Amino acid sequence: QENEIKLLTAEIEHLKNFGCLGVSPSLEGLRDENTKLKYRLNFLQKSLQEERSKTAKSMININSCLQEIFGAAIQAAYPDLENPPLVVTPSQQPKFGDYQCNSAMGITQILLKTKEQKVSPREIAEKISKNIPANECIEKVEIAGPGFINVHLRKDFVSKQLSSLLMNGVQPPAVGKRKKVVVDFSSPNIAKEMHVGHLRSTIIGESMCRLFEFAGYDVLRLNHLGDWGTQFGMLIAHLQDKFPDYLTVSPPIGDLQAFYKESKRRFDTEEEFKKRAYQCVVLLQSKNPDFIKAWELICDVSRKEFQKIYNCLDITLIERGESFYHEMMKDIVKEFEDKGFVQVDEGRKIVFVPGFPVPLTVMKSDGGYTYDTSDLAALKHRLCEEKADILIYVVDSGQSVHLQTVFAAGQMIGWYDPKVTRVAHAAFGVVLGEDKKKFKTRSGDTVRLIDLLEEGLKRAMDKLKDKERDKVLTAEELKAAQTSVAFGCIKYADLSHNRLNDYVFSFDKMLDDRGNTAAYLLYAFTRIRAIARLASIDEQMLRKAAREEVLILDHEKEWKLGKCILRFPEILQKILEDLLLHTLCDYLYELATTFTEFYDNCYCVEKDRQSGE
């Protein structure tokens, strides 16, 4: 933007000179061009100003600042080294300073391999330290052990950042160009109830969307419903038999799960019903209005059930099921055929993708499409129509090979370049019961998600009554506390585990107010609010103090808490890169315990025993 501003300013000067040089092109044309350029210049200057003002208010990523400083020091100390290792991490113990630069060991290895020079890491660390440029954040560096560079931050730098944070609020570092992120998550199947297996995708997907929105991205949240396919044949045939007047009277399908099981049993045991079911699929796919109506009725019943769960967990989604991509599938098959990627195998049309042993089936021998076709159509639409810069599929680990094959096929046919567009599978493990086996009911059935949420509400209320909260809260407050605790604990238990691992579902652990749980964080947060309430201090007073006074961080617990607060942008950057949200939970738990340490050692508020103030 700065370069363009310079060029435009020069261009406007150049236009002004036309008159002086005696050149007389159309004056009107000159005026138009000049106005356009001035308008563009004005827009750019304003945009740059907004960007700078946003950046000035944003939190600073201290780790990134230190990486820049040490990057420059290494470059100055060893100008001939290409891509030297740059390792800066927060120190684990206060005696080793606040951060550590551990690049010297890696540089030792490189010098030995590429230049056959044997230099000790300690010597390298000393050379790097001598070349550290002038900066506002480092107080001093010390070399420890074999070659660790311990970094001590300046207290006035940390104090200034905390005051800025208080005045401007929590503003994440600016992301530059506003990129578009498409997140595919939840994705249950129509006519089947959401079960515990959908819990992880729904919770993790929603949290990822909130993360990218918070960081300033443009996010599209998609629910890739299983709302098309051969199962609708048997469901429609069963609907016609059970509610023959469905076109005029809305059928009272109360329990869709039971309805699905009945139709499946008939499909497996009655030959005549099976034939009719196949005919129904053909009529549905040819868009017969009566069959479309039947399909819509079944979808609506499911939607209402899904929405109950989404309301409980505060989930926002745009529905875009498999049916949305149905019309595009023919073109997908043609595109792969035209580019010579399709082979015919026993009547099926298949596509082999280099590096993947199992081919994608883009068309069955009967001319029908498959999940592979609809997934390819969805991928193309998200990349080419939605113009996604980042595309994330929050789907269980079992689909890993399938999704990697689909992504590789999209790359092979030229829909995207992975260097430009990020397409990622945010995989997750399964939910286990306390016996460490797949989470099931006592009768061995899959656990219905709605039952699980209702059980959570019951357990949360029992816990609140144990703590005698019902005696101090109004009925309305008690209900709000119950839902916050129940659903907060279910979400947090999932998010606080590394999503790549399986995790054990335990209400007792979730609702425990000790350890890294939502109950503990809610307790810590409530305590902080209570201090502010008791001291009668509001945000305006705090902001005024931040503007007018210098924050002095004398006590070690105060210093520890200040640094911990300022690590937030580093955590944010890490989870935007690796999509592992448990890192944020670990950070929040560390922040809450660090605050508790501070609170226990540094009194924030005291009551006057006589006046009670």
Based on the fold, state whether residues 187 and 313 are members of the same structural domain.
no
Based on the fold, state whether residues 409 and 337 are members of the same structural domain.
yes
Size of the chain, expressed as the number of residues it contains: 613
User: Which band of pLDDT confidence, cut at 50, 70 and 90, is reported for residue 559?
Assistant: very high
> Which residue shows structure tokens 């991205």?
217
Helices (H) and strands (E) in the chain, counts: 22, 14
Based on the fold, state whether residues 505 and 525 are members of the same structural domain.
yes
Asked, for residue 159, whether it belongs to a domain, the answer is no
Cα 342 to chain center, whole Å? Answer: 35
| HSE toward the beta carbon, residue 448, CA cutoff 13 A | 14
Based on the fold, state whether residues 335 and 393 are members of the same structural domain.
yes
CATH number at residue 384: 3.40.50.620
What whole-number distance in Å separates Cα of residue 532 and Cα of residue 515? 24
Position 403 scores a pLDDT of: 98
pLDDT tens digits, one per residue of 279-325? 998 898 888 999 999 999 999 989 998 999 999 999 999 999 999 99
CATH number at residue 142: 3.30.1360.70
Asked, for residue 433, whether it belongs to a domain, the answer is no
Based on the fold, state whether residues 120 and 241 are members of the same structural domain.
no
Based on the fold, state whether residues 4 and 42 are members of the same structural domain.
yes
Asked, for residue 344, whether it belongs to a domain, the answer is yes
**pLDDT of 177 above 50:** yes
H or E element, residue 63: helix 62-77
The bridge status of strand 218-223 relative to strand 318-319 is parallel
Asked, for residue 608, whether it belongs to a domain, the answer is no
CATH number at residue 550: 1.10.730
**pLDDT of 169 above 50:** yes
What whole-number distance in Å separates Cα of residue 273 and Cα of residue 280? 10
Based on the fold, state whether residues 458 and 533 are members of the same structural domain.
yes
Cα 257 to chain center, whole Å? Answer: 32
Q: Say which residues have a Cβ less than 8 Å from residue 375's Cβ, sequence separation at least 6.
A: 402, 403, 406
- Asked if residues 18 and 30 have their Cβ atoms less than 8 Å apart, the reply is yes
Position 21 scores a pLDDT of: 46
> Considering 15, 30, 51, which residue would you say is the last residue of a domain?
51
The encoded tokens of residue 436 equal 């460490």
> Considering 290, 319, 348, which residue would you say is the last residue of a domain?
319
Based on the fold, state whether residues 389 and 510 are members of the same structural domain.
no
pTM to 2 decimal places:
0.86
Which whole number is the average pLDDT over 441-466? Answer: 87
The encoded tokens of residue 266 equal 């008939």
Q: What mean pLDDT is reported for the chain?
A: 89
H or E element, residue 112: helix 104-115
What whole-number distance in Å separates Cα of residue 406 and Cα of residue 373? 9
pLDDT tens digits, one per residue of 22-58? 444 455 555 666 666 666 666 666 666 655 555 668 8
Asked, for residue 87, whether it belongs to a domain, the answer is yes
Q: What is the DSSP letter of 385?
A: I
What whole-number distance in Å separates Cα of residue 278 and Cα of residue 271? 11
Cα 382 to chain center, whole Å? Answer: 17
The encoded tokens of residue 10 equal 């020069």
The encoded tokens of residue 559 equal 């210093």
What whole-number distance in Å separates Cα of residue 350 and Cα of residue 362? 6
Asked, for residue 291, whether it belongs to a domain, the answer is yes
Based on the fold, state whether residues 272 and 194 are members of the same structural domain.
no
H or E element, residue 153: strand 148-153
- Asked if residues 151 and 99 have their Cβ atoms less than 8 Å apart, the reply is yes
Terminal CA-to-CA distance of the chain, rounded, Å? 56
Based on the fold, state whether residues 283 and 218 are members of the same structural domain.
no
Domain count, the chain: 5
Asked, for residue 395, whether it belongs to a domain, the answer is yes
Based on the fold, state whether residues 375 and 399 are members of the same structural domain.
yes
What whole-number distance in Å separates Cα of residue 563 and Cα of residue 118? 37
Q: Which of 522, 462, 483 is nearest to 470 (CA)?
A: 462
Query: What is the domain extent for residue 31?
Result: 1-51
Based on the fold, state whether residues 488 and 517 are members of the same structural domain.
yes
> Considering 284, 319, 354, which residue would you say is the last residue of a domain?
319
DSSP 3-state of 479:
helix
- CA distance to 74, 91, 191, per residue, from 105 (Å): 13, 17, 59
- Asked if residues 178 and 213 have their Cβ atoms less than 8 Å apart, the reply is no
Position 23 scores a pLDDT of: 47
Asked, for residue 35, whether it belongs to a domain, the answer is yes
